[in-house]
Protein backbone atom coordinates (compact mmCIF):
# COMPACT_ATOMS: atom_id res chain seq x y z
CA UNK A 1 0.00 0.00 0.00
CA UNK A 2 2.69 2.40 1.11
CA UNK A 3 4.78 1.43 -1.89
CA UNK A 4 2.07 2.17 -4.43
CA UNK A 5 1.36 5.49 -2.72
CA UNK A 6 5.02 6.45 -3.07
CA UNK A 7 5.02 5.44 -6.69
CA UNK A 8 1.88 7.46 -7.29
CA UNK A 9 3.54 10.53 -5.79
CA UNK A 10 6.64 10.00 -7.93
CA UNK A 11 4.54 9.63 -11.06
CA UNK A 12 2.59 12.79 -10.25
CA UNK A 13 5.86 14.67 -9.71
CA UNK A 14 7.22 13.53 -13.07
CA UNK A 15 3.98 14.47 -14.83
CA UNK A 16 3.93 17.87 -13.10
CA UNK A 17 7.52 18.52 -14.16
CA UNK A 18 6.68 17.49 -17.72
CA UNK A 19 3.66 19.77 -17.75
CA UNK A 20 5.72 22.65 -16.33
CA UNK A 21 8.40 22.20 -19.00
CA UNK A 22 5.82 22.01 -21.75
CA UNK A 23 3.74 25.01 -20.70
CA UNK A 24 6.79 27.10 -19.86
CA UNK A 25 8.28 26.39 -23.27
CA UNK A 26 5.05 27.25 -25.07
CA UNK A 27 4.74 30.46 -23.05
CA UNK A 28 8.35 31.38 -23.82
CA UNK A 29 7.86 30.76 -27.52
CA UNK A 30 4.59 32.71 -27.65
CA UNK A 31 6.12 35.61 -25.74
CA UNK A 32 9.00 35.77 -28.22
CA UNK A 33 6.63 35.47 -31.16
CA UNK A 34 8.33 32.29 -32.38
CA UNK A 35 6.11 30.09 -34.55
CA UNK A 36 5.18 26.65 -33.19
CA UNK A 37 3.56 23.48 -34.50
CA UNK A 38 4.13 21.26 -37.51
CA UNK A 39 2.11 23.33 -40.00
CA UNK A 40 5.36 24.30 -41.74
CA UNK A 41 5.71 20.74 -43.09
CA UNK A 42 3.14 21.50 -45.78
CA UNK A 43 4.82 24.72 -46.93
CA UNK A 44 7.14 24.98 -49.93
CA UNK A 45 10.72 24.35 -48.88
CA UNK A 46 12.41 26.62 -51.42
CA UNK A 47 15.81 24.92 -51.20
CA UNK A 48 17.47 22.29 -53.37
CA UNK A 49 19.04 19.05 -52.11
CA UNK A 50 22.19 17.67 -53.71
CA UNK A 51 21.15 14.03 -54.05
CA UNK A 52 17.83 12.31 -53.70
CA UNK A 53 16.37 8.84 -54.18
CA UNK A 54 12.97 10.30 -55.09
CA UNK A 55 12.05 13.22 -57.35
CA UNK A 56 12.52 16.46 -55.44
CA UNK A 57 12.80 20.16 -56.27
CA UNK A 58 12.70 23.48 -54.47
CA UNK A 59 8.96 23.74 -55.20
CA UNK A 60 8.23 20.65 -53.07
CA UNK A 61 7.22 20.77 -49.42
CA UNK A 62 9.36 20.61 -46.30
CA UNK A 63 7.78 17.23 -45.62
CA UNK A 64 9.09 15.85 -48.90
CA UNK A 65 12.51 17.40 -48.24
CA UNK A 66 12.59 15.58 -44.89
CA UNK A 67 11.63 12.30 -46.56
CA UNK A 68 14.50 12.82 -49.01
CA UNK A 69 16.85 13.28 -46.05
CA UNK A 70 15.47 10.25 -44.25
CA UNK A 71 15.87 8.04 -47.32
CA UNK A 72 19.44 9.27 -47.72
CA UNK A 73 20.13 8.30 -44.11
CA UNK A 74 18.58 4.86 -44.66
CA UNK A 75 20.65 4.43 -47.80
CA UNK A 76 23.90 5.15 -45.96
CA UNK A 77 22.93 3.07 -42.95
CA UNK A 78 21.79 0.09 -45.03
CA UNK A 79 24.78 0.02 -47.37
CA UNK A 80 27.13 0.82 -44.48
CA UNK A 81 25.85 -2.01 -42.27
CA UNK A 82 26.10 -4.56 -45.08
CA UNK A 83 29.62 -3.54 -46.10
CA UNK A 84 30.89 -3.13 -42.52
CA UNK A 85 29.64 -6.63 -41.65
CA UNK A 86 31.45 -8.23 -44.57
CA UNK A 87 34.66 -6.28 -43.95
CA UNK A 88 34.38 -6.87 -40.20
CA UNK A 89 34.13 -10.65 -40.62
CA UNK A 90 37.12 -10.61 -42.96
CA UNK A 91 39.13 -8.64 -40.40
CA UNK A 92 38.00 -10.85 -37.50
CA UNK A 93 38.84 -14.08 -39.31
CA UNK A 94 42.18 -12.64 -40.48
CA UNK A 95 43.05 -11.84 -36.88
CA UNK A 96 42.82 -15.57 -36.15
CA UNK A 97 44.53 -16.74 -39.32
CA UNK A 98 47.49 -19.13 -39.02
CA UNK A 99 49.26 -16.74 -41.44
CA UNK A 100 51.40 -14.34 -39.38
CA UNK A 101 51.35 -11.51 -41.94
CA UNK A 102 47.57 -11.58 -42.22
CA UNK A 103 47.25 -11.64 -38.44
CA UNK A 104 49.55 -8.65 -38.06
CA UNK A 105 47.71 -6.70 -40.78
CA UNK A 106 44.37 -7.31 -39.07
CA UNK A 107 45.84 -6.16 -35.74
CA UNK A 108 47.24 -2.94 -37.23
CA UNK A 109 43.97 -2.27 -39.05
CA UNK A 110 41.88 -2.64 -35.90
CA UNK A 111 44.14 -0.57 -33.68
CA UNK A 112 44.58 2.19 -36.24
CA UNK A 113 40.97 2.71 -37.25
CA UNK A 114 39.26 2.27 -33.92
CA UNK A 115 41.68 4.60 -32.16
CA UNK A 116 41.32 7.64 -34.42
CA UNK A 117 38.20 9.85 -34.31
CA UNK A 118 35.57 9.05 -36.93
CA UNK A 119 35.12 12.72 -37.83
CA UNK A 120 38.82 13.03 -38.67
CA UNK A 121 38.56 9.91 -40.82
CA UNK A 122 35.58 11.38 -42.67
CA UNK A 123 37.47 14.60 -43.41
CA UNK A 124 40.40 12.47 -44.59
CA UNK A 125 38.30 10.46 -47.06
CA UNK A 126 36.49 13.56 -48.29
CA UNK A 127 39.72 15.49 -48.82
CA UNK A 128 41.26 12.45 -50.51
CA UNK A 129 38.46 12.32 -53.05
CA UNK A 130 38.06 16.06 -53.69
CA UNK A 131 41.76 17.03 -53.59
CA UNK A 132 43.41 14.03 -55.20
CA UNK A 133 41.03 13.45 -58.09
CA UNK A 134 41.08 15.80 -61.10
CA UNK A 135 38.29 18.07 -62.34
CA UNK A 136 35.60 16.53 -64.59
CA UNK A 137 37.27 17.85 -67.74
CA UNK A 138 40.46 15.93 -66.85
CA UNK A 139 38.63 12.95 -65.36
CA UNK A 140 40.46 9.62 -65.03
CA UNK A 141 38.94 6.84 -67.08
CA UNK A 142 40.64 3.53 -66.19
CA UNK A 143 37.97 1.57 -68.05
CA UNK A 144 35.98 2.91 -70.96
CA UNK A 145 32.79 4.57 -69.66
CA UNK A 146 34.00 4.73 -66.03
CA UNK A 147 35.02 8.21 -64.89
CA UNK A 148 36.75 9.26 -61.68
CA UNK A 149 36.81 12.99 -60.86
CA UNK A 150 36.29 15.31 -57.92
CA UNK A 151 32.58 15.16 -58.77
CA UNK A 152 32.58 11.50 -57.78
CA UNK A 153 32.50 8.25 -59.68
CA UNK A 154 30.37 7.80 -62.79
CA UNK A 155 29.66 4.20 -63.86
CA UNK A 156 28.29 3.13 -67.21
CA UNK A 157 24.95 1.33 -67.21
CA UNK A 158 23.81 -0.87 -70.10
CA UNK A 159 22.84 1.54 -72.89
CA UNK A 160 23.56 4.57 -70.70
CA UNK A 161 27.17 5.70 -70.71
CA UNK A 162 28.14 8.92 -68.86
CA UNK A 163 29.25 11.78 -71.12
CA UNK A 164 30.86 15.08 -70.18
CA UNK A 165 28.41 17.88 -70.87
CA UNK A 166 29.04 21.42 -69.73
CA UNK A 167 30.18 21.37 -66.12
CA UNK A 168 29.72 17.70 -65.34
CA UNK A 169 28.99 14.19 -66.55
CA UNK A 170 25.44 13.26 -67.46
CA UNK A 171 23.98 9.76 -67.56
CA UNK A 172 25.17 6.47 -66.07
CA UNK A 173 25.16 5.78 -62.35
CA UNK A 174 26.77 8.24 -59.97
CA UNK A 175 28.43 7.95 -56.57
CA UNK A 176 28.98 11.44 -55.16
CA UNK A 177 32.18 12.33 -53.25
CA UNK A 178 30.10 13.03 -50.13
CA UNK A 179 28.38 9.64 -50.16
CA UNK A 180 31.59 7.83 -51.08
CA UNK A 181 33.55 9.52 -48.27
CA UNK A 182 30.78 8.95 -45.74
CA UNK A 183 30.43 5.28 -46.62
CA UNK A 184 34.18 4.70 -46.66
CA UNK A 185 34.55 6.38 -43.27
CA UNK A 186 31.66 4.58 -41.59
CA UNK A 187 32.47 1.17 -43.03
CA UNK A 188 36.21 1.22 -42.32
CA UNK A 189 35.67 2.58 -38.80
CA UNK A 190 32.84 0.25 -37.80
CA UNK A 191 34.52 -2.79 -39.38
CA UNK A 192 37.40 -2.38 -36.92
CA UNK A 193 34.98 -2.86 -34.02
CA UNK A 194 33.10 -5.67 -35.73
CA UNK A 195 36.42 -7.41 -36.42
CA UNK A 196 37.17 -7.45 -32.70
CA UNK A 197 33.68 -8.73 -31.91
CA UNK A 198 34.05 -11.54 -34.44
CA UNK A 199 37.49 -12.49 -33.15
CA UNK A 200 36.29 -12.52 -29.54
CA UNK A 201 33.17 -14.50 -30.47
CA UNK A 202 35.18 -17.18 -32.23
CA UNK A 203 37.76 -17.43 -29.48
CA UNK A 204 34.97 -17.87 -26.95
CA UNK A 205 34.04 -21.18 -28.56
CA UNK A 206 35.84 -23.89 -26.51
CA UNK A 207 38.97 -25.25 -28.18
CA UNK A 208 37.59 -28.77 -27.75
CA UNK A 209 34.88 -28.02 -30.30
CA UNK A 210 37.45 -27.40 -33.04
CA UNK A 211 39.42 -30.49 -32.03
CA UNK A 212 36.22 -32.52 -32.13
CA UNK A 213 35.62 -31.17 -35.62
CA UNK A 214 39.13 -32.24 -36.71
CA UNK A 215 38.56 -35.61 -35.05
CA UNK A 216 35.62 -36.36 -37.30
CA UNK A 217 37.76 -35.46 -40.32
CA UNK A 218 36.81 -31.84 -41.03
CA UNK A 219 39.42 -29.51 -42.47
CA UNK A 220 39.98 -26.05 -40.94
CA UNK A 221 37.61 -24.06 -43.21
CA UNK A 222 34.90 -26.68 -42.78
CA UNK A 223 35.35 -26.83 -39.00
CA UNK A 224 35.16 -23.04 -38.92
CA UNK A 225 31.99 -22.89 -40.99
CA UNK A 226 30.11 -25.87 -39.58
CA UNK A 227 31.25 -26.04 -35.96
CA UNK A 228 32.72 -22.76 -34.77
CA UNK A 229 30.76 -20.01 -36.52
CA UNK A 230 27.25 -21.23 -35.63
CA UNK A 231 28.25 -21.23 -31.97
CA UNK A 232 30.23 -18.00 -32.21
CA UNK A 233 27.27 -16.17 -33.79
CA UNK A 234 25.35 -16.44 -30.53
CA UNK A 235 28.11 -14.50 -28.87
CA UNK A 236 28.61 -12.11 -31.78
CA UNK A 237 25.06 -10.97 -32.48
CA UNK A 238 24.27 -8.90 -29.34
CA UNK A 239 27.40 -6.67 -29.53
CA UNK A 240 27.05 -6.59 -33.32
CA UNK A 241 23.62 -5.01 -32.85
CA UNK A 242 25.24 -2.18 -30.91
CA UNK A 243 27.65 -1.59 -33.78
CA UNK A 244 24.77 -1.42 -36.26
CA UNK A 245 23.08 1.16 -34.05
CA UNK A 246 26.33 3.11 -33.73
CA UNK A 247 26.83 3.16 -37.47
CA UNK A 248 23.29 4.40 -38.04
CA UNK A 249 23.68 7.19 -35.52
CA UNK A 250 27.22 8.05 -36.63
CA UNK A 251 25.86 8.59 -40.14
CA UNK A 252 24.60 11.95 -38.85
CA UNK A 253 28.23 13.15 -39.03
CA UNK A 254 27.36 13.50 -42.73
CA UNK A 255 26.60 17.19 -42.10
CA UNK A 256 30.32 17.86 -41.70
CA UNK A 257 31.12 16.78 -45.25
CA UNK A 258 27.96 17.98 -46.94
CA UNK A 259 26.04 14.75 -47.52
CA UNK A 260 22.33 15.64 -47.32
CA UNK A 261 21.27 13.14 -44.66
CA UNK A 262 18.26 13.57 -42.39
CA UNK A 263 20.06 15.75 -39.83
CA UNK A 264 21.40 18.02 -42.55
CA UNK A 265 17.96 18.55 -44.08
CA UNK A 266 16.35 19.10 -40.66
CA UNK A 267 19.06 21.61 -39.77
CA UNK A 268 18.35 23.60 -42.90
CA UNK A 269 14.61 23.35 -42.29
CA UNK A 270 14.76 24.49 -38.69
CA UNK A 271 16.92 27.38 -39.76
CA UNK A 272 14.58 28.54 -42.50
CA UNK A 273 11.49 28.16 -40.32
CA UNK A 274 13.04 29.02 -36.96
CA UNK A 275 11.30 26.03 -35.40
CA UNK A 276 14.21 24.43 -33.62
CA UNK A 277 12.22 22.44 -31.06
CA UNK A 278 10.10 20.72 -33.70
CA UNK A 279 13.23 20.03 -35.75
CA UNK A 280 15.14 18.46 -32.87
CA UNK A 281 12.04 16.45 -31.94
CA UNK A 282 11.90 15.09 -35.50
CA UNK A 283 15.57 14.09 -35.38
CA UNK A 284 15.06 12.30 -32.08
CA UNK A 285 11.94 10.53 -33.28
CA UNK A 286 13.58 9.41 -36.54
CA UNK A 287 16.73 8.01 -34.94
CA UNK A 288 14.82 6.41 -32.09
CA UNK A 289 12.49 4.68 -34.55
CA UNK A 290 15.36 3.50 -36.74
CA UNK A 291 17.36 2.26 -33.74
CA UNK A 292 14.39 0.42 -32.23
CA UNK A 293 13.64 -1.19 -35.59
CA UNK A 294 17.23 -2.44 -35.93
CA UNK A 295 17.19 -3.67 -32.32
CA UNK A 296 13.90 -5.51 -32.82
CA UNK A 297 15.19 -7.23 -35.94
CA UNK A 298 18.49 -8.23 -34.35
CA UNK A 299 16.73 -9.50 -31.21
CA UNK A 300 14.48 -11.62 -33.39
CA UNK A 301 17.52 -12.96 -35.26
CA UNK A 302 19.36 -13.58 -32.00
CA UNK A 303 16.42 -15.55 -30.62
CA UNK A 304 16.29 -17.60 -33.80
CA UNK A 305 19.91 -18.74 -33.64
CA UNK A 306 19.84 -19.62 -29.92
CA UNK A 307 19.91 -23.26 -28.88
CA UNK A 308 16.37 -24.33 -28.27
Partner 1 sequence: MKALAIVLGLFFMQAAAAQSTLDTVRSRGAVLCGVNTGLAGFSQPDSKGVWKGIDVDVCRAVAAAVFGDATKVRYVPATTQQRFTSLQSGEVDLLSRNTTWSYARDAGLGFNFVGVNFYDGQGFMVWKKLNVKSAKQLNGATICVQPGTTTELNLADYFRANRMTFKPVVIDKLEEVLNAYFAGRCDVFTTDISGLVSVRGSRAPNAAEHVILPEVISKEPLGPAVRHGDDRWFDVVKWSLFAMIEAEELGLGTKTIDQALQSKDPGVQRFVGATGDLGKMLGLDNKWAYNIVKQVGNYGESFEANLKPLGFERGQNALWKNGGLMYAPPIR
Chain contacts with partner 1 (rule: CB under 8 A): 21, 24-25, 27-29, 31-35, 46-50, 57-59, 127, 130-131, 135, 150-151, 165-168, 170, 177-178, 255-258, 260, 264, 267-268, 270-274, 276-277, 279-280
| Residues 83/179, Cβ–Cβ less than 8 Å | no
Q: What is the distance of C-alpha 13 from the center of its chain?
A: 38
Go through 69-104 and write b for each residue having 16 or more CB atoms within 10 A of its CB, e for each that does not: bbbbbbbbbeebbebbbebbbbbbbbbeeeeeeeee
Q: Residue 283 in contact with residue 66, Cβ under 8 Å? A: no
User: What are the Cα distances from residue 231, in Å, to 82, 217, 234, 307?
Assistant: 21, 19, 6, 9
CB of 175 to partner 1, least distance (A): 14
Q: Compare residues 39 and 230 and give the one whose CB is closer to partner 1.
A: 39
| Residue placing its CB nearer to partner 1 in the complex, 178 or 196 | 178
Name the minimum Å distance from CB 222 to partner 1.
49
CB of 153 to partner 1, least distance (A): 14
SS3 116: coil
Q: Would you give the DSSP letter of residue 140?
A: B
Handedness of CA 297, 299, 302, 306 (dihedral sign): negative
Give the separation between CA 168 and CA 153, rounded to whole angstroms. 11
| Nearer residue to partner 1 within complex by CB, 45 or 85 | 45
The nearest distance, CB 30 to partner 1, in angstroms, is 9
Tell me how far apart the terminal alpha carbons of the chain are, to the nearest angstrom. 41
- What is the closest distance, in whole angstroms, from the C-beta atom of residue 7 to partner 1 in the complex? 25
Closer residue to partner 1 (CB): 97 or 130: 130
Q: Tell the burial category of 183 from Cβ atoms under 10 Å away from its Cβ (0-12, 13-18, 19+).
A: buried
Q: Are strands 173-175 and 152-155 parallel, antiparallel or unpaired?
A: antiparallel
Quote the least distance from Cβ 45 to partner 1, whole Å: 9
Least distance from C-beta 68 to partner 1, angstroms? 12
196 vs 261, which CB is nearer to partner 1?
261
Which residues contact residue 192 at a Cβ distance below 8 angstroms, ignoring those fewer than 6 apart? 88, 91, 109, 110, 112, 113, 114
Q: Closest CB to partner 1 among 57 and 117?
A: 57
- 48 vs 111, beta carbon nearer partner 1: 48
Residue 22 CB, nearest approach to partner 1 (Å): 9
Query: Which of 20, 301 has the CB closer to partner 1?
Result: 20
Spatial distance between the Cα atoms of 167 and 130, rounded to a whole number of angstroms: 16
Amino acid sequence: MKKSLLQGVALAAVLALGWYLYSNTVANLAERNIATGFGFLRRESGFEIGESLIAYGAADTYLRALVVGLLNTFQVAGAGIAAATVLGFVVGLSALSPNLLLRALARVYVEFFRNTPLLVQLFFWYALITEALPSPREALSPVSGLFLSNRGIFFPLPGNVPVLEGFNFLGGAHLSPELAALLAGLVVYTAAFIGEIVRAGIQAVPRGQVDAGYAIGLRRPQALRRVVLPQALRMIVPPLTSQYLNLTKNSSLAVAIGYPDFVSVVNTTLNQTGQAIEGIALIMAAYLTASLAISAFMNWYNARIQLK
